[in-house]
Structure 1
Amino acid sequence: MKVEKYRVQSTCGVLDQPPRVDISAGSLSLSLASAATGGKLLFIEMMLLVGMDNNSGLFPKELEEGNSQTEDIFSIEYQPKVLDCFCSNTVRHFYPSTWDEILLNSQTMDLKMKEKFRTNPTGNNIVMPKPVYFTKRTKPTINQLSDEDIQNIAVFCFPDGAKLSAQRTDNFKVHYFVLTDFLGVRNYATCLTFHRKYEATKERKTWKLKPFEKTKLHGNSHYTESVIVYVPHACAFVSTQPYFTVMKQCLSILLNKIKLTKDIHTQNLLFQEFVRQLCITPLPPAGTLAVGVHLSGHEVILRPPHHSSIPVLDLSLHIVFQCFPIETIIQIITCILTEKRIVFLSSNYALLTIVTESLCSLIYPFSWRHTYVPLVSDSHLELLEAPGSFIMGCHLKHLPTVKQIADLVMVNIDKGTIIVNELEPIFGAMSYTYVINIPMMPQEPVKLLAEVYEKVKFSFDFIDLESPCRFNRKEELQFRFQKISSFNKRMQYAFVELMVNLFRDIAPECKADLKCFKQNNFLQKQLPANIPFYTEVMKTTLFQEFLDNILSKKPSFWSELELKTRTLSRKSGFSQNVFVSNAHSMTGTKQGLVSTSIEELPNEFIFFIPSIYNAVSCTEYLKDCIKVCTEKLQDCRHFSHRTSLTYLRGMYSYAGSEYRLAYEDLKNLHESAESIYISPKFVLSNVAISFSYSLSDLRSFRMCSHKFLIFVI
């Protein structure tokens, strides 16, 4: 196999343009990510191993003056560290010093590349031979995260600190968190905690860890003191999309392997093999085609939203409705729409992110753009005093501290209540009380939503009564998925209808040619009791973004549903599957409230990608993926499925440097429909750059590129 010119980045092979993929799995991962502009085509960005080991040492979090680390090793709270970062075929080790290991033992690695790397003089690992080179637009980071940022993730894996245990524990826990950078770009993580067995030895008044399997106890020695300890560790998957449940499934599969393997080195090798497949698994485009992958005999399926403007929802919405009554949910939604300072509290860390993510998904077509930290660790509670609007979450034990912060809306998840902090500053002899104003959402759309919810809830609660028992585990899992999926779809649709009914009158007052919105005309059409709500919402940046999308005529599921029901909202009475309520019959707006039945989507089609472990090289692996896509396209007759398969084949072709084939697939996507919303808007730009190596191809591209209607996922 011919070795092309290459550059090495900190995490994976980065190739000079045009990108080649016959060097490593890391190159494949990067090529697919570049095809998606921003890396949003791939399922897993990285897996982090967090904890403490013999290389990182033990760092006490806090020690009172006069106390020593040697007093009681089990009562001290330690600072967890990010030990390793697994990325495709590369592992970054942070202790005892930072260095990158290229996994040349992979079957997808070109054997001729071995001579390009030297071995670590302190071991048998492979390290980079020379300083790293970067292009002008590439930062020396792991998937655009600096080493400092990666180390900061450790506090989210152990939000209440890490302590050693004297006894073996099988208390495995999963929780979730979200990472937001200063530009507002989010990464989503699912974390699994477990314990590893070590020997702790006291040397010179400090405790040091040694792998248990490589040592012998010296408890009776006169010179040393040793004790067996179980050290907490965490595996965290990080993704650009909120596939929390799928990441939990992958971690559960990985946990079975951890239980069977006690050797630490063997566990790390399992991590490498496990993560490699997930880092090259593509995310499915919006539609009805799901992407599946086989992991250790289990099927893991990534399901996309049915419309490109709707965010991914991979959790159970019924959890939110179990925690809060519908009236409280409407109150919280109002607080989000009016951009209040909101703090969620719960004694369960897993609930914090699940509840906040669920509520934020229900405000579509609006999206929260301010500070967003669903899980705040014990050591970062000062974030709750930050200025401006935010959504944060912390443990319920910090409720007394949160109560001392003014201008907060506190949501107690455990009790299902919402509390507004009141501030009473005293100036001279007078006392002032400051109360946050939470306007009331218009009641007619809310009543319509409550009616839909009662029907959905009744069906969800009693569907088990009329269904036979399933003794097959796979059938039971499928039934549970269908039950939760049905609830999610119906409630998502109901909340989109709520937003259509609330903001339907916005569109007629928007003049796209003048780029203006006649706010006074809109308010004059509303009932007096509803004006405070709309006035507060219109002050927010959240509403301004929504308004910009309407003025620019950006396609969205909200706009499609509003247009479809526009004529229905002007009528009254009943029709098949349509109920129209003239809420403002005399004094209000002429447009009524509409509740339609959810459209039946085509049956789901699951496309299982080939396993990389069966491939000889990355080039052959990409050819296998293209071949499988082509075979499925020949057998598939459904338009939506064919569109998604064509898109995936185009991305695989682009990653494999088959630029002409990639261009043809993108062109066919456009010619087969008036508008396709599944392609990232910069894909054709990347293809054009690749075509620039052939002038004729570039001219051909420029002649046709103006015909494309491509929007962001």
Structure 2
Amino acid sequence: MASTSRIFEYFVVCGLGPEIRALDGLKGFHGAEEMYMPAFIDQFPHSGHALYPPPPPQLPTCVLPAGVRIYSSRLDANDVSTYPRSYPIVLTEGDGSKIYVSCIAFRDPICEDIIEAYQIPVNSFADKCICFVSHSPCFQVLRDALEEIFVLCFSPAGCSKPLWDIISHVVSNVPLPTPGKDRVLFAIDNCLLSAETPPKEWLPHADISFQPLVQCLDVDKLIQLFTAVLLERRILLRSNKYTLLTLVSEAICHLIYPIRWQHVYIPIIFSSGVDYIDAPTPYMMGLHSGVDTSTVTSGG
């Protein structure tokens, strides 16, 4: 990579866009029980001012795979389901290269203009997701940096520094570590973070733990899964945690090294794309266990 390569390529905000549309395509607000299409809200750098190609257009749907829900309340200390959620996702480009995205989803007030335009009840909240996008599989540093920014700029205890000043500094000034060389150190407010990558002659960089994989499956099922991957079967992973779907999928890909999975690879498939699991070709996909698949007939 060029010397100008950076860990953080984009900071992206996704959520309820200015044109509200339900998952079934109907425009407008149809009640809080409906799920709505996520959209790009903002990003840094802006289009035309970046070193990298723009984030893929499907990013909002991927980082908020269940869609956007509208709520009457924000955070309830007695309800875990209202807490912010941190999870990674991995997207695959046409040439097989991967895009790594760290996400934090949370409830955020809907802006007054949208509330007025669509006659949404006042003081309503909607799912919003902030993301760091990178071609470097530095899962931990992407997550640590994003969580620090969330605490600083989106939590009640956050600082008064403008969000985009912090984002501009992080995205523009943190270089990609040279493989096998010294760590890259950088600070977000008073938090010191570091990143490093192994030498190129080592095994591929795997900044993940294999522990979730071996905790979820016993030895027999792990062997069955490994065999299914080598035989290029259709593989559908189910979990109620997005983080688990991504980490297990990535662990499987590293487990079969030096063989490379070259078929469809979607660690987290969005809810409205559930029909994809009926594809006749080999794939490895992850689907939230809360998504109904009763209308889909798939034999793996």
User: Match for 1:392: what amino acid?
Assistant: M
User: Match for 2:66: what amino acid?
Assistant: D
Change (3 A) 1:239 1:308: farther
Give the Å deviation of 1:393: 0.9
Give the Å deviation of 1:58: 2.6
Give the Å deviation of 1:272: 4.2
How many residue pairs were aligned? 291
Give the Å deviation of 1:229: 0.8
Change (3 A) 1:296 1:308: farther
For residue 97 of structure 2, what is the aligned residue in structure 1? 185
User: Match for 2:67: what amino acid?
Assistant: G
In terms of fraction of residues, the more helix-rich structure is 1
In terms of fraction of residues, the more strand-rich structure is 2
Aligned equivalents of 1:394, 1:322: Cα separation in 2: 19
- CA offsets, 1:646-672, max 9 Å, x none? xxxxxxxxxxxxxxxxxxxxxxxxxxx
Q: Say whether residues 1:338 and 2:231 are aligned partners.
A: yes
For residue 165 of structure 1, what is the aligned residue in structure 2? 71
- CA offsets, 1:84-123, max 9 Å, x none? 1212xxx34xxxxxxx7x7xxxxxxxxxxxxxxxxxxxxx
Map of 1:345-356 to 2, 5 A cutoff?
A: 345-356=238-249
Q: Residue 397 of structure 1 aligns to a residue in which SS? A: coil
* Among candidates 143, 155, 161, match of residue 259 of structure 1: 155
TM-score, with structure 2 as normaliser: 0.85
Give the Å deviation of 1:352: 0.4
TM-score, with structure 1 as normaliser: 0.38
Aligned equivalents of 1:60, 1:34: Cα separation in 2: 42
User: Match for 2:71: what amino acid?
Assistant: S
Change (3 A) 1:338 1:298: same
Aligned equivalents of 2:90, 2:156: Cα separation in 1: 30
For residue 33 of structure 2, what is the aligned residue in structure 1? 75
Aligned equivalents of 1:248, 1:345: Cα separation in 2: 23
Aligned equivalents of 1:274, 1:385: Cα separation in 2: 40
Give the Å deviation of 1:248: 1.1
- CA offsets, 1:181-239, max 9 Å, x none? 22112111111012222346455xx336xxxxxxxxxxxxxxxxx51111221111111
Change (3 A) 1:275 1:313: farther
Aligned equivalents of 1:243, 1:70: Cα separation in 2: 39
Contact 2:242-2:288 at 8 Å conserved across structures: yes
Contact 2:14-2:130 at 8 Å conserved across structures: yes
Q: Residue 109 of structure 2 aligns to a residue in which SS? A: strand
Aligned equivalents of 1:241, 1:193: Cα separation in 2: 21
* Among candidates 145, 148, 172, match of residue 54 of structure 2: 145
Q: Residue 356 of structure 1 aligns to a residue in which SS? A: helix
- CA offsets, 1:436-479, max 9 Å, x none? xxxxxxxxxxxxxxxxxxxxxxxxxxxxxxxxxxxxxxxxxxxx
Map of 1:271-286 to 2, 5 A cutoff?
A: 271-286=164-179
Change (3 A) 1:253 1:61: same
For residue 357 of structure 1, what is the aligned residue in structure 2? 250
Contact 2:197-2:205 at 8 Å conserved across structures: yes
User: Match for 1:241: what amino acid?
Assistant: S
Give the Å deviation of 1:295: 1.8
For residue 85 of structure 1, what is the aligned residue in structure 2? 43
- Percentage of pairs with the same residue: 23
Map of 1:503-518 to 2, 5 A cutoff?
A: none
Aligned equivalents of 2:163, 2:280: Cα separation in 1: 44
Give the Å deviation of 1:172: 0.3
For residue 298 of structure 1, what is the aligned residue in structure 2? 191
For the pair shown, the structure with the greater C-alpha radius of gyration is 1
Aligned equivalents of 2:272, 2:33: Cα separation in 1: 18
Give the Å deviation of 1:369: 2.1
Q: Residue 192 of structure 1 aligns to a residue in which SS? A: strand
User: What 5-or-longer segments of structure 1 have no aligned partner?
Assistant: 1-32, 93-99, 103-140, 209-225, 409-713
User: Match for 2:21: what amino acid?
Assistant: F
Change (3 A) 1:372 1:280: farther
For residue 141 of structure 2, what is the aligned residue in structure 1? 246
For residue 182 of structure 2, what is the aligned residue in structure 1? 289
For residue 543 of structure 1, what is the aligned residue in structure 2? none
* Among candidates 282, 286, 290, match of residue 397 of structure 1: 290
Q: Residue 314 of structure 1 aligns to a residue in which SS? A: coil
Aligned equivalents of 1:70, 1:188: Cα separation in 2: 32
Map of 1:644-663 to 2, 5 A cutoff?
A: none
Change (3 A) 1:232 1:364: same
Contact 1:86-1:272 at 8 Å conserved across structures: no
CA RMSD in angstroms comes to 2.9
* Among candidates 199, 202, 208, match of residue 315 of structure 1: 208
User: Match for 2:15: what amino acid?
Assistant: G
User: Match for 2:41: what amino acid?
Assistant: L
For residue 124 of structure 2, what is the aligned residue in structure 1? 229
Give the Å deviation of 1:142: 7.2
User: What 5-or-longer segments of structure 2 have no aligned partner?
Assistant: 76-81
Q: Say whether residues 1:62 and 2:20 are aligned partners.
A: no
